[in-house]
Amino acid sequence: MADSSTLMLGTARSLLVDSSVFDSRLAETSKDHLFLGLMPEEGRDVLPHVETRVVLVGEAGSNEEIINALEEIKVPYIRTDNVKEFGEEESAEFETVFVLTDFKNPDYTYLYKHDNRIIGPPVVLHYAMKQEPLPFSSRPLYCTTMVNLVLCFTGFRKKDEVVNLVNLVHHMGGTIRKDFSSKVTHLIAHSTHGEKYRLAVCMGTPILKPDWIYKAWERRNEINFNAGVDEFRTEFKVSPFQDCVLSFLGFSDDEKKSMEEMTEMQGGQYLDVGDERCTHLVVEENTIKELPFIPSKRLYVVKQEWFWGSIQMDARAGESMYFYEKPDSPALKKSVSLLSLNTPNSNRKRRRLKDTLVQLTKETEISPFPPRKRQSAEHSLSMGSLLDISNTPDSGKTLGENVKSKGSTPAQMKQSARWQVAKELYQTESNYVDILTTVLELFKNPLEKEGQLGGPILAQEEIKTIFGSIPDVFEVHTRIKADLEELVINWSEDKSVGDIILKYSKDLVKAYPPFVNFFEMSKETIVRCEKLKPRFHAFLKINQAKPECGRQTLVELLIRPVQRLPSVALLLNDIKKHTANDNPDKVTLEKAIESLKEVMTHINEDKRKTEGQKQIFDVVYEVDGCPANLLSSHRILVQRVETIALGEKPCDRGEHVTLFLFNDCLEIARKRHKVITTFRSPHGNTRPPASLKHITLMPLSQIRKVLDLKETEDCQNAFALVVHPPTEQDNLLFSFQMTAEEMGKEAWLRTLCRHIANTICKADAEELIQSTDPDTVQVNTKDMDSTLSRASRAIKKTSKKVTRAFSFTKTPKRVIQRAFMVTRTPDGKSPTAGLENYTGGRLVSSSTLAGIHSPSMVSLPSMFEKKYHTFSRSTTHLI
Residue-wise DSSP of 390-435: -SPTTTT----SS---SS--PPPSS--HHHHHHHHHHHHHHHHHHH
pLDDT at site 402: 43
- The rounded distance, in Å, linking the Cα atoms of 411 and 421 is 17
Reference 499, options 405, 373, 586, 616; nearest CA is 586
Q: Identify residue 660 by its one-letter amino acid code.
A: F
pLDDT for the residue 439: 93
CB 555 within 8 A of CB 381: yes
Residue from 603, 587, 593, 586 nearest 569 by CA: 593
Q: In which band, very low, low, confident or very high, does the pLDDT at 397 lie, cut at 50, 70 and 90?
A: very low
User: Which pLDDT does position 608 carry in this prediction?
Assistant: 65
What is the reported pTM? 0.50
Q: How much is the pLDDT for 613?
A: 67
**3-state SS record for 269-291:** EECCCCCCCCCEEEECCCCCCCC
- The DSSP line for 694-734 is EEEEEEGGGEEEEEEEPP-SS--SEEEEEE--TT-SS-EEE
Residue 689's contacts (CB-CB under 8 Å, 6 or more residues apart) are 675, 676, 677, 678, 679
Q: 3-class SS at 572? A: helix
Cβ-based neighbour number of residue 732 at 10 Å: 20
Task: Decide if pLDDT at 395 tops 60.
Answer: no
Q: Specify the pLDDT at position 23.
A: 36
DSSP 683: T
Amino acid at 842: R
CA distance 312 to 446: 12
pLDDT at 380 (0 to 100): 40
Q: What is the CA radius of gyration of the chain?
A: 41
Q: What is the chain's length?
A: 879
pLDDT band at 595 (very low <50, low <70, confident <90, very high): confident
- pLDDT of residue 830 exceeding 50, the answer is no
Determine contact, residues 642/656, Cβ cutoff 8 Å.
yes
Q: Is the preceding omega at residue 295 within 30 degrees of 0, hence cis?
A: no
**Burial, 578: exposed, middle or buried (Cβ in 10 Å; 0-12, 13-18, 19+)?**
middle
Q: Are 595 and 501 in contact (CB under 8 A)?
A: yes
pLDDT > 70 in the chain, percent: 69
Q: What is the pLDDT of residues 479-528, one digit of tens each?
A: 999 999 999 898 888 889 989 999 988 888 888 888 887 788 888 899 98
Q: Nearest-CA neighbor of 208 among 244, 225, 184?
A: 184
- What's the confidence (pLDDT) of residue 217? 93
Query: What spatial distance separates the first Cα and last Cα of the chain, rounded to whole Å?
Result: 75
The pLDDT value given to residue 473 = 92
d(CA 655, CA 673): 10
β-strands 718-723, 732-738 pairing: antiparallel
- In percent, the amount of the chain with pLDDT more than 90 equals 15
Answer yes or no: is pLDDT of 790 > 50: yes
Most trustworthy range by pLDDT among 143-157, 308-322, 642-656: 143-157
Strand order in the sheet with 732-738: 623-624, 692-699, 665-671, 656-662, 637-645, 732-738, 718-723, 703-709, 769-772
Contact 424, 400 (CB under 8 A): no
Distance between CA atoms of 543 and 95, rounded to whole angstroms?
63
Looking at residue 452, its pLDDT comes to 78
75-114 pLDDT tens trace: 888 888 887 777 565 555 667 888 888 888 888 888 888 8
CA pair distance 876, 879, nearest whole angstrom:
9
The residue that leads in pLDDT, 337 or 144, is: 144
Residue 7 pLDDT > 90? no
Task: Band the pLDDT of 646: cuts 50, 70, 90.
Answer: confident
Report the pLDDT value the prediction gives residue 432, as an integer from 0 to 100: 92
Please choose, from the candidates 107, 143, 115, the residue with its C-alpha nearest in 3D space to the C-alpha of residue 127: 143
Greater pLDDT, 193 or 4: 193
**Greater pLDDT, 186 or 675:** 186
pLDDT at 327: 58
pLDDT, the chain, mean: 74
Contact 875, 668 (CB under 8 A): no
CB-based contacts of 507, cutoff 8 Å, min separation 6 = 476
Task: Compute CA distances 863 → 357, 682, 711, 809, 868, whole Å.
Answer: 87, 55, 21, 39, 13
pLDDT at 360: 47
Amino acid at residue number 314 = D
| Confidence band for 13, pLDDT divided at 50, 70 and 90 | very low
**Predicted local distance difference test score (pLDDT) of residue 51:** 67
Return the top range by mean pLDDT from 80-89, 404-413, 596-605, 655-664: 655-664
Q: What is the pLDDT of residue 430?
A: 92
pLDDT > 90? residue 281: yes
Of 491-500, 703-712, 824-833, 845-854, the least confident: 845-854
pLDDT of residue 92: 56
For the chain, the farthest-separated pair of C-alpha atoms sits apart, in whole angstroms, at 119
Identify the pLDDT of residue 855. 41
Q: What pLDDT score was predicted for residue 552?
A: 86
State how far the Cα of 751 lies from the Cα of 98, in Å rounded to an integer. Answer: 85
Confidence of residue 783 (pLDDT cuts 50, 70, 90): low
pLDDT one-digit tens code per residue, 23-66:
333 333 333 333 334 444 454 454 555 667 788 888 888 888 88
Q: How far apart are CA 756 and CA 776, in angstroms?
A: 24
pLDDT score, position 305: 86
- Produce one character per residue of 388-408: b if its CB has 16 or more CB atoms within 10 Å, e if not: ebeeebbeebeebeebeeeee
Q: CA 208, CA 35: separation in Å to the nearest integer?
A: 41
CB atoms within 10 A of CB 203: 13
Q: Give the lowest-confidence range in 473-487, 505-519, 645-659, 785-799.
A: 785-799
Listing DSSP states for 573-617 in one string gives HHHHHTS-TTSTHHHHHHHHHHHHHHHHHHHHHHHHHHHHHHHHH
The answer to whether the beta carbons of residues 529 and 463 sit under 8 Å apart is no
The per-residue pLDDT for 396 is 39
Question: pLDDT tens across 319-374, in order?
Answer: 888 888 765 555 444 443 333 334 344 455 555 555 654 554 444 444 444 444 44
Neighbours of 235 (CB within 10 A): 11
